[in-house]
Amino acid sequence: MIKALIFDMGGVLVDLDIEDCKKTFKEKLGYHDIDQIIDACHQKGIYGDLEEGTLSAEEFRAIVLAGSRPGATEAEVDEAMSHILAGIEPSKVQLLKDLSDKYDLYMLSNNNAICLPFSSKMFDDAGIPLKDIFIKCFFSFEMKALKPSKSFYEAVMREIGLPAEQMLFIDDSQKNVDGSIEAGLPAVYYEPGTDLSAVIYDVLNREGC
């Protein structure tokens, strides 16, 4: 029986708008290398290094500003980064509240030190602060590992401490889902824009949970 549900953040709980992020970098900062570091998986080059924790937020900002228009600021870099976050649907807020009554909720996310404060505020504003709705959040930049790294999943499973069959991971990347399953953590794919509750309850019902 499943006891713990582990959610990805971006693309599953928080809607993403990669194109708006790219547009903001180009129009507000004059930084056109953005196309080389953010795509549908948004983990390439210096962006990937930022999310893996091998590049600090300060170092990331400095690299971006070196390729931006004169006078661009660190605050503008952060603001441009925040445009990748489109918000949390009310139905997902209610879903998390409902699930938290019966299951232990965790988050497992490729994330970074610049975007996290913005996304955290979204959860605060929605009435489900991260520290309240999730028992623990596992962020890549803090864990120094990126999904679908086997070591990342294994570290999360050890920390949660339940038998693998009692956990379920939900992610919007098939690559990450496959990596999770290969590491021994049961996982299910969620297609952004579809009904998240249907995906989760389908698995729970089949497991008799």
Q: What is the CATH number of the domain that holds 98?
A: 3.40.50.1000
* Distance of alpha carbon 27 from alpha carbon 209, whole angstroms: 49
127 and 78 assigned to the same domain:
no
Q: What is the number of domains present in the chain?
A: 2
Report whether pLDDT(209) > 90: no
Q: Quote the pLDDT of residue 1.
A: 92
Q: Quote the pLDDT of residue 39.
A: 78
29 and 72 assigned to the same domain:
yes
The residue-averaged pLDDT of 104-114 equals 97
Lowest mean pLDDT among 37-51, 58-72, 145-159: 37-51
47 and 94 assigned to the same domain:
no
- Could you tell me whether strands 167-171 and 104-109 are parallel, antiparallel, or unpaired per DSSP bridges? unpaired
What are 39-42's contacts with CB under 8 Å, separation 24+? 41/173, 41/175, 42/10, 42/16, 42/18, 42/84
The residue-averaged pLDDT of 12-21 equals 96
Mean residue pLDDT across the chain? 96
Residue 190 near residue 15, CB atoms below 8 Å: no
168 and 65 assigned to the same domain:
no
Q: Which residues is 109 bridged to in the sheet?
A: 139
103 and 136 assigned to the same domain:
yes
Residue 162 DSSP label: S
50 and 122 assigned to the same domain:
no
Residue 66 near residue 169, CB atoms below 8 Å: no
The residue-averaged pLDDT of 102-110 equals 97
Q: List, for residues 36-56, the tens digit of each pLDDT value.
A: 998 766 678 999 999 999 999
Q: Of 82, 107, 135, which residue constitutes the final position of a domain? A: 82
Q: List, for residues 123-147, the tens digit of each pLDDT value.
A: 999 999 999 999 999 999 999 999 9
95 and 122 assigned to the same domain:
yes
Q: Quote the pLDDT of residue 43.
A: 75
Q: Which residues is 169 bridged to in the sheet?
A: 6, 187
* Distance of alpha carbon 144 from alpha carbon 53, whole angstroms: 5
Quote the domain boundaries for residue 139.
Answer: 4-15+87-206
65 and 91 assigned to the same domain:
no
Residue 157 near residue 184, CB atoms below 8 Å: yes
Q: Of 27, 53, 82, which residue constitutes the final position of a domain? A: 82
